[in-house]
Each structure stands twice: as C-alpha cells, then as structure tokens.
Homo-oligomer: A and B are copies of this chain.
Amino acid sequence: MIVRSQQQKWLDNWSRFVPILDWGLHYQREYLAGDLTAGIVVGTVLIPQAMAYALLAGLPPQIGLYASILPPIVYAFLGTSRLISVAPVALDSLMVGAAIAPLAAENTPQYLGLALLLALMIGAIDILMGVFRLGFLVNFLSQAVISGFISAAAIVIAFSQVKHLLGLKIPQTESFPQLLTYLIQGITAINWATLTLGTVSILMLIYLPKWLGKYLKKLGFIEFTIMPITKSAPLLLVIVSSLLVWFFHLDRIAGIKVVGKIPQGLPSLTFPNLDGNTINMLMPAAVAISFVGFMEAYSVGKFLASKRRQKVEANQEFIALGVANISAAFTGGYPVAGGVSRSGVNFSAGANTPLASIITALIVALTVMFLTPLFYFLPQACLAAIIVIAVSKLLDIATLKRLWIYNKADGIAWIAAFLAVLITSVEKGILFGAAVSILLHLWRTSKPHIAVVGRVGNTEHFRNVLRHDVKTCPHVLAVRVDASLYFVNTKYLEDYLIQAVSDRPEVKHLVLVCSAVNSIDGSALETLKSLILDLKTREIEFYMSEVKGPVMDGLLKVGFIDELGKDHIFLTTDRAMRTLECV
C-alpha cells in the first residue's frame, strides 16, 4: 500500500515534466477511435502544408516533411497541451526564410545548415525560457501588437506566393515594398496556364469543402464522417493537379513549375555546425521566432484545453517546444511550432490525446518512405494556393476595429506593429510594436485620474466633487488618486496637488485618499517626501487615508510613517475629516 502511494507520488512528480506518464498510463480504449481519425485527417492536411511551408522558408519540400516526424512525437511526450499539432507553421517559416536568405543562397547545403542551426538555437532559447520560468515575458507583447503583427505577416506571406500563382520568375526578397515592385515589373511575364491552375486551386480550396459538405449531408452522411472528407480537400487538390500535369505533360508544354524529385526514405541524422559568428547573426531572429512560435502554440493550446477543461503550463510548454525544435535540428528538419488551424482540425476531428499527433507523424514517415515519387508532378502553384488559403484566415481587421473603439492607444499599437512589419521586416515589426505598446501604456498611466472628493450627505462615503453633490470644507482638501504611484506618474500627481493648493489659499490640510493606490515605488516615495516638504513651506499639513496593507508595510519599513507622524495616517477618510474638523 505504502509502496503504491509512493509510486503514485513519484508518478505525479514526474508527469509534471513528462506528461505522457499522465495521459499514457491512464489511456482508455474509447479514446482510440477519435485519436485514429484525427491522426489520419491531420495527416492529410499536414503533408501538403509541410511541403508548402518548407518552400515558403526557401527550403526543399522534403525538409517540411522531415520536420513533421520526430518533433510532433517528442512534443507528444513532453507537451502539456493534448491537442496541438506541432510541425512547420506559416509564420515561423516566413521568418526562417527572412533570417537565412541574407546569409546563404537557396538550395545550397549552407542554407540547409543554417535552417538546422536556427532550429537548434530556437530549441535552446525555448528550454532556457522554460527552465528559468521566463514564460511571463511573452506577456510584454500586447494582444493588440500580436494581432497587428500576425495580420501584416499574413499579407507578406500571401504576396510572397503571388509569384508562384502567376508563374513569375522574380528574385527572392525579404522586403515587402521591394517584393511589390518586383511583382509589378514582372507582371507582363505572367504564365497564363499557371495563373489558371492557381486560380482554380484557390476556388477549389474555398468552395469544394462547403459544396462537398452540403452534398454529403444531403446523402445523409453524419457530421463526424463529413468533416474528415471535407478537410482532405488540400490533399485531393494535390492528387488531382499532379495527375493532370503528369497526364497532359503540362510541365513541359505549358511551363507549369512542378515540385520535382523529392528524395525517398527517412531523413538521416544531421548535426548543425556551431559557428559563433553565425550564431550571433542569427540570434535576434532566433529570439523573435522562439517568441512568435511559443505565442502561437501557447494561445491555441490554452484555447483548446479550455474546451476540454484541461490546463496548459507555460514554462513546460516552452521546454516541450524547445526539445521538439532540437529534435528537428538533428533529423534534417527546420523550426517547428503549434499550428492554429491544424490544431483546430485535430480537435474537431475528435483527438483525445497526443496519440493522434504520433499517428500523424507515422503517416508522414510512411509518406517520405514510399510516396514521395508521387509528388514529382505536384505544381508549386497548388502549394502556393494552399498557403494563401491557410494564412488568409490570419488577417484580423475585426480586432483592430474593436480595439480602436475601446481605446485608441491599443489601436495605435496594432497599426504600429502592422506597418512596421510591412515596411521593415517581420522581426523588427514585432519588436517595434512591443516598444510602442509599452510606451503608450506608460504614457497612459503618466496622467492618472485624480479627483477632489467630498462627503456624500452625512454618510461615511466620499465621492468626486465633479460627479456628485457632496460637502467639502475650505480648510481641508481631500484628493483621491486612482492609480498606483510610480516614477512615471508621481510628478503629475505632485504638480496637480501643488496647483490645487495654490488655487485654494485657504487650505491648511491636504488629505491624500489612497484607496486605489496598490503600490508606491521608490521614486514615487522620494517625490512624495519632497512634496511634503514643499507643502510644509506653504504651511500645509499632509495626511494619508485608506492606505492598503502591503503599501503600509513598505512605508513603515523605511520609516516614512514615523517621519510623517502616525497621527497623519488614517484608516478611513471619514476619520481623517472628523479629526480635521470637517464634518
């Protein structure tokens, strides 16, 4: 018995770091059906996606597939979210391309090597973030900034695919304005066959699922069987288009670019080469990608977990994603994260445990072992169409609208991040956005709401003299500040109070109502002291009321209360006013 309970303890401890010990050992038979379907459905979604995203990062398609085998399995062992699908994602792929392109030419061993190194660095950063419990740092990116950033990135990604949809040959570029000029210049060289194929593919990806869904429903299929079929639209597109190209030799006679030869078999073990200089150059990108990847995975993980009343732990997530990325670095892959839409599919396809992701990974493994030759005639335009449709859902103007109505500052932060991404680059964009939202926050808090208060009738309540009909006395001024006091806002408070007493020469006592002051930092305390001296020279006594427990503790510790005098601190404003003969 004791042994059992000890064993139990041991398990509980370890399952916090290796969650598979939790869900694996409590796995129940009835989970299997859901996990199996979800695993297969996500597989059909992932295979074309993985190849497309690899191309987006400037890598050969098989790299995307390699990154979809070991990483999801590793994550299944360590991740606290049971439903997210870890593999290549659009946003990270774009950032990877942007980071590597300046350092090496595409389709060179150097380029592949840098992708591996980047995955290793991101993995290391993630693990450090998790171990040192720095998960909270991602909170410094406001929701406004993230939304603006992702929206702009979606646009950049979509336009990066236009050349494939038009069959244009234009140089690789990471600058959006540059890309636009290239597209406009090249517009005359459109390959109409490619354009047609691309357009048809997009329309098919939009309408086929809807149409198929309606049709199957008419035939009396149940929702649970319809969903998997509709979700496999991208795979259908891949198969059909490949067959068309192969049968009509469209690649040769119509000049439609195809994926071409993809090596068969599992990836061989790879070792990123650790060059200090290169690491320095990649560091900013690695940090940015690690943050972005984590945010995406964490937010979707939390969202899905809530639907199943499960919990996701930020720091353990960082570690799980970190190990997953490192596993990618050693198996010929590139940086991975948790995809939003894909994880959604996994959830709605009925996944119960990470076993679904393991099944998906096995399907991808089988594909690279036996089916890659089938992708020879796969047109790049189809993959481009899949990317465009995938990211089109990310453009999020609705949030901008909401934020703008509620508070301009958040709207400005959204726009700042959005424009910065389009004008400069994806990394600079998110950093700039973060800086803007922090400064706007400081600016907003630099002018806190301050109210002169008076007594409501004969009650013990005191309210804003401007909003309510209250009683005040000429010789006592009671002021309530609705903010914690810290270096950014205390000078404003000081100026306000000095102004207030200079406007009221008859004031002899100033009572600061601290009911809304949750903290007072060191600089604020210094300002408060100089304010008290200033008031003394004006023969005005300073008092405080309704000081909160934690704040009081701090003020006592530094002897501020003794300086001020215990008789100058009151529990309630009412008591203060009575003592100062203002009833």
Contacts and interface: CB of A to CB of B under 8 A. Distances in A.
Interface of A: 136, 139-144, 303, 306-307, 309, 311, 314, 399, 402-403, 405-407, 409-411, 437-438, 441-449, 464, 467, 482-484, 486-492, 495, 498-499, 502, 515-516, 518-519, 521-523, 525-527, 530, 533-534, 537-538, 548-550, 554, 557-558
A516 B521 CA distance: 17
The listed residue with most B CB atoms (<10 A of its CB), out of A314, A409, A438, is A438
The listed residue with most B CB atoms (<10 A of its CB), out of A525, A526, A538, is A526
A444 B522 contact: no
Given A139-B488, A309-B502, A410 B522 contact: yes
Contact of A449 (B402, B489, B518): B518
A523 B492 contact: no
Contacts of A518: 448-449, 482-483, 516
Nearest to A505: B309
A406 B554 contact: yes
Contact of A309 (B136, B490, B538, B549): B538
Contacts of A526: 143, 399, 402
A550 B449 contact: yes
Contacts of A482: 518, 548, 550
A28 to B, nearest CB: 21
A312 to B, nearest CB: 9
B410 A139 contact: no
A286 B336 CA distance: 45
A519 B445 CA distance: 9
A287 to B, nearest CB: 15
Contacts of A438: 438, 442
B521 A441 contact: yes
A484 B486 CA distance: 13
A407 B495 CA distance: 24
Contact of A557 (B406, B483, B550): B406
Contacts of A534: 306
A555 B102 CA distance: 47
Contact of A521 (B303, B311, B409, B558): B409
Contacts of A142: 486-488, 521-523
A487 B139 contact: yes
Contacts of A548: 482
A492 B533 contact: no
A421 to B, nearest CB: 18
A143 B527 contact: yes
B444 A140 contact: no
6 contacts: A403-B522, A405-B558, A411-B522, A444-B521, A482-B518, A483-B518
A557 B405 contact: yes
A443 B139 CA distance: 10
A449 to B, nearest CB: 6
Given A309-B502, A521-B407, A447 B136 contact: yes
A134 to B, nearest CB: 10
Nearest to A499: B311
Contact of A492 (B136, B409, B486): B136
A338 to B, nearest CB: 17
A302 B441 CA distance: 27
A307 B538 CA distance: 8
A399 B521 CA distance: 13
A530 B305 CA distance: 12
Given A438-B438, A488-B139, A533-B306, A410 B557 contact: no
